[in-house]
Structure 1
Amino acid sequence: MTRRSVVTGVGHYLPERVVPNSEFEATLDTTDEWIRTRSGIERRHFAAEGETTSDLASHAARAALEDAGVAVDEIDTIIVATSTADLTFPSAATMVQAALGMTRGFAFDVQAVCAGFVYALANANAMIVSGQAERILVIGAETFSRIMDWTDRSTCVLFGDGAGALVLEARDGDGTSADRGILSVDLHSDGRFKDLLYVDGGVSTQSTGYLRMQGNQVFRHAVEKLADSAEAALAKAGIASDEVDWIVPHQANIRIIKGTARKMGLSMDKVVVTVEDHGNTSAASIPLALSVGKQRGQIKQGDLIVTEAIGGGLAWGAVVLRW
C-alpha cells in the first residue's frame, strides 16, 4: 500500500466588495475593454477596511472543514500560503489556528508569491506521506489590494483579494496513477529573475512598498515554465496529457492560461477559469478555482487534475492529483 494525500474538502471566501473594471476609469487612463482584452478580468473583490488576510483565510478554512465533514480538533496542521500576512510575525496560520479554536498541532506560513499554494501543497503532501500528519488544512489567502500602486494601470487593475482552502487527509492507495490524492509534484525557482515581479519594500528596508512587474517578461517566462513544469509533473506520475480531466491554473491572465494550455496541447474546454470574476488573487487563486470548479459541477471525484502556478522569485511549479 502507498500512503496518499487525498482532498476531502474544499472551500473559499471572497470579500463583499466587488470592484468592476469601470471603477478604474475615473482615476486611470484605462477602460473596461482595455483591461478585459489584455487580461480577461472583468471584476475583482477587495477586502473591507480592517479585514485582514487571516480573516479571509479563516472563512475559507471553515467552508473547507464543513465540506469535508471534519471538526477542527481533527486537524493536525495548518499551512497558509500568502505574501500579505497580517503582521511581520506571528504567521497568519497561527492566527487562523486561534480563530478556528484549534489548540493542538502546529501552523505555519509559506511564501512563494503566486506559486505559494503549489509550494504549500508540496509541503503538506510531504508531511502526510512521511507520517508527520494525518489531516492538514492548506490555505491560500491574499489581500493584494494593500500593496497596489493605484497610479500604475499596468498592475493595479490585475489583482484582487480572496482565500481558498483544502483539507488533505492520509489515505491508502495502491501506488498507481489510479489512486486518489496527490500523485506528483514539480517545483522550481530562479532568483536571477527577481526584478521581473517584486514589491519594492519590506521589513529590513523599513518600508511597505508596492508591487512592481515587467508584464511582458513575466508573460514570456510564464507560458514556457508553466507548461514545462506541468508536463514534468505528469511524467513523474506516469500520466499522458490526454488523460487529464482538468487544468486548474493560477488565475493571473487569460492569455497566459490559454498559452499554457495550447503549449500542452490541451483544449480550453479542460481548463477551469475564474480570472474574469476574481482577478489575480496570487496564492489564493488555485484553491479558489478548485472550490468554484467543484461548486459549478466541473470537478468530480476521480477526476485527474493538474494545477500550476508561477510568481515572484521567480518561483513556479505544478501538482498532479486525482480528486
Structure 2
Amino acid sequence: MGSTIIGCGKSLPALEVENDELKALVDTNDEWITTRTGIKSRRIAVDETNADLGEEAARQALGWTEGGYAERRIEAGEIDLVICATVTPDVVVPSAAGLLRRRLGLDNAIAFDVNAACSGFIYGLTVAETMIAASASNVAGAAGRNPIKRALVVGAERLTRLTNWSDRNTCVLFGDGAGAAVLEWNEERAGILSSFIVNEDDITNALTCANAFDAPQPFDKDGISLEAAAAGDPALPRTDEEIGTHALVEAGRPRQVLYMDGPKVFKFAAEAMTTAVRQAVERAGITLDDVACIVPHQANERIIKYAAKKLGRPMDFFQLSIAHTGNSSAASVPMALADAYEQGRIQRGDKVIVVAFGGGFTSGAVVFEA
C-alpha cells in the first residue's frame, strides 16, 4: 500500500528560441551552448502566465485533456490537496496553488506553495506523500486530520522573467514550463517507496536571486516621513550584502535576476545528485539494479553524465529532456517524468527514481513503483 502516481502532465509556452537566436543578445552560438549544456532551444513564456502553464499540466495529469499520462479521469471533487512548487508565482497572494485550485474547481482541496528552487517538485511530492500516509494511518490523532487521499503536485515556472539576458553564462540555461503529477493512496500498490531531502547552506552565495520591493514606504527610523517614500526600501542593501550582490547592484546590475557561480553550482549539483540517489535507494531497501530509470533535474547534460559515471550507469538509464526545454527549475522533473511516461519508458511495476538539486542549496530524491 502507498501513494501511487496515477497521472502526469506537462505544458510548454508557444515560443521556442533556438541557441543561435541568442546571438542577438549575447556573444554566443549553438556550438558553445550545446557542448557545455546539452541545450539546443528553450521555451519562453511571453503571454502565458505561471498559472496558465500549471493549469494545462494539471489538466493532463488529471486526465481532462489529451497529452501526458493518466490512468483514469480524476474528478475535481476527488482532489484533497494541491501543492505548487515555484520560485516565480504570478502573485504573492493568493498562492500559485490557490490560483490553480480556483481555476480547476478543486473545491475540496487544501492548497499551498513550496519554494525549494529546482528541488521543489521533489519536496512537494515528499510533503504530499507524508500527508496522504498520515491520513491513511491509524496513529493517534489521525482521525482528526483533514482526510487526504489524492493530491495534485505541480511544478510551474516562468524562470526567464528572472534571467539576466545580458549575461551569456546564465541566460543560455533557462526556460519556462510546468509539470504535474497526481498521487493517490492505493491499498494494493506500493507507490512511493522512499524519499530523501536535505538542505546545505550556500555559504558562498553561488546561486541567488533577490526580491525587488518597490512600493513607496513613507517611514524612516523616526516614524512617518513623506520624503522617505521616494528613497526606496532602506533594508534592501542589507539583503544585497547577505546574498553577495551588493557590489553588482551598486554597479547598476539588475537586482531581481539570477546570479550564479557556475563551477560552484556544478560541483554541488553533481555530488548532491549521486548522494540523493544512493540515499533514496538505500531507504527503499533496493539496489540500482532494481530500478528501470532515473528522471533527473534537467539543469545541464554534463551534470547528468557526471552522475551516470559516479553511479556506474549508462546515459540511456536517465531520462533526458533538456535539449528543447533548458533548465525550468521546479517544472523540470515533472516535465521530464511526463516525457518518460509518454515515451513508454515507465511501465506498471517499474521502480523509478526522480532526483533534483537546487539553489539554497536543496537536493532530494524519491523512489516509487509505477
- Normalising by structure 2, we get a TM-score of 0.82
State how 1:10-159 maps to structure 2 within 5 Å.
Answer: 10-49=8-47, 51-66=48-63, 67=70, 68-131=72-135, 132-159=147-174
Pick the aligned partner of 1:272 from 308, 315, 319.
Answer: 319
* Matches of 2:288 and 2:363, distance apart in 1: 19
User: What per-residue deviation string (whole Å, max 9, x for no partner) do you get for residues 152-200 of structure 1?
Assistant: 0111110000001011000125xxxxx5311001011122446111113
Amino acid at match of 2:93: F
Amino acid at match of 1:34: W
Does 2:283 align with 1:285?
A: no
Amino acid at match of 1:300: Q
Amino acid at match of 1:63: Q
Q: Cα offset for 1:316? A: 0.6
State whether residues 78 and 108 of structure 2, in contact with CA within 8 Å, keep that contact through their aligned partners in structure 1. no
Question: What SS does structure 2 have at the residue aligned with 1:210?
Answer: coil
Which has the higher Rg, Structure 1 or Structure 2?
2
State whether residues 355 and 366 of structure 2, in contact with CA within 8 Å, keep that contact through their aligned partners in structure 1. yes
State whether residues 194 and 312 of structure 1, in contact with CA within 8 Å, keep that contact through their aligned partners in structure 2. no
* Matches of 2:190 and 2:45, distance apart in 1: 35
User: What per-residue deviation string (whole Å, max 9, x for no partner) do you get for residues 133-160 of structure 1?
Assistant: 1000010110001001010011111000
Amino acid at match of 1:64: A
- Normalising by structure 1, we get a TM-score of 0.94
Amino acid at match of 1:107: A
State whether residues 25 and 32 of structure 1, in contact with CA within 8 Å, keep that contact through their aligned partners in structure 2. no
Question: What SS does structure 2 have at the residue aligned with 1:186?
Answer: strand
Question: What SS does structure 1 have at the residue aligned with 2:309?
Answer: helix
Q: Cα offset for 1:232? A: 0.6
Look up the match of 2:194: 184
* Matches of 1:306 and 1:163, distance apart in 2: 19
CA RMSD for the aligned pairs?
1.5
Question: What SS does structure 1 have at the residue aligned with 2:324?
Answer: helix
Does 2:319 align with 1:321?
A: no
Look up the match of 1:176: none
* Matches of 2:202 and 2:44, distance apart in 1: 32
User: What per-residue deviation string (whole Å, max 9, x for no partner) do you get for residues 246-273 of structure 1?
Assistant: 0000000000011112111111121110
* Matches of 1:124 and 1:20, distance apart in 2: 36
State whether residues 200 and 212 of structure 1, in contact with CA within 8 Å, keep that contact through their aligned partners in structure 2. no
* Matches of 2:206 and 2:124, distance apart in 1: 23
* Matches of 1:91 and 1:208, distance apart in 2: 23
Name the stretch that deviates more: 19-28 or 187-196.
187-196
Amino acid at match of 2:132: I
Question: What SS does structure 2 have at the residue aligned with 1:191?
Answer: coil
Question: What SS does structure 1 have at the residue aligned with 2:169?
Answer: coil
Look up the match of 1:240: 287
Structure 1 unaligned spans of 5+:
174-178
Structure 2 unaligned spans of 5+:
64-69, 136-146, 214-234, 240-253
* Percent identity of equivalent pairs: 43
Look up the match of 1:164: 179
Amino acid at match of 1:55: D
Q: Cα offset for 1:241? A: 1.2
